[in-house]
Amino acid sequence: MDKDQETAAVSGVAAADRVLTILTAFQKGDGAVELAALAARTGLVKSTIMRLAVSLERFGLVVRLPGGRYRLGAEALRLGAVYQHSLDIEQFVMPILERLVAGIGETASFYVPHGKSRLCLYRVDSMHSLRMHVQPGDIRPMDQSAISQVLREYAAGPGSAAELDPPVYSGGITDPHTAALAMPVFGAGQRLVGALAVSGPITRLTAARATRVRDQLRDGGLELTMSLGGDRR
């Protein structure tokens, strides 16, 4: 590649970055966004936004309204639907479960609501011989355990359980000898997808230890939420 070609390539990447900066500046709850607001969110000057928005309009990703306001176009919705249709949740969940087991040393699992119960969808066991023997596909009661609390209280979305500060801890509920720490996971539209959890004997996963490892579970839950189309905020 000669110098002119290299310069053109770098320039093209920079232009693409600016276009994507505009597109990702739209936030949940936005209707039509003023040009000044887009400039404030992106750090781009208004003339640059107007110029680059022409390309976004051409592909149906953005619509320019009278008065200079902008909103997302129908193509953004179509791409979101394509993403959701092609989503294979296992490929996102399993690496996080494996990482939690390696980092915390306790069993990690992912539960989803199942009628009036909860279903263990994915699970990675710890290396300890002393552990709760639940398998993927097992149905557990919707009791007062941390996992059940998360699935029940966040069913209406992230703002539906203001009194909880996830991850949520419980000990001795489903089984007097076990404890769990659970974090809600959301998908597109902030819809509850499931609960990410670590569990183990209550003698190992004490309330004090749960406090020490809660940030690892929280980070895993937020990462999974972002991967599934949710909003970590």
Note the pLDDT tens digit of each residue in 132-188.
667 888 889 999 999 999 999 999 888 777 788 899 999 999 889 999 999 999 998
Note the pLDDT tens digit of each residue in 63-99.
999 888 999 999 888 887 666 655 678 899 999 999 9
Query: Comparing 5-14, 40-49, 170-179, which segment has the lowest mean pLDDT?
Result: 5-14
- Please tell me the class of the 3-83 domain: mainly alpha
* Beta carbons of 218 and 183 less than 8 angstroms apart: yes
Question: Strand runs (DSSP E) across the chain, as ranges?
Answer: 62-64, 70-72, 107-114, 117-124, 139-141, 168-171, 178-186, 192-201
Query: Comparing 2-6, 102-106, 147-151, which segment has the lowest mean pLDDT?
Result: 2-6
CATH architecture for the domain at 87-227: 2-Layer Sandwich (3.30)
Q: Is the pLDDT of residue 1 over 50?
A: no
Residue given tokens 């009278």 in the structure block: 66
Query: What is the Cα–Cα distance from 233 to 230, expressed in whole angstroms?
Result: 9
* % pLDDT > 90, the chain: 61
Contacts 24+ apart (CB under 8 A), 76-81: 76/23, 80/188, 80/229
Sequence spans of domains, the chain: 3-83, 87-227
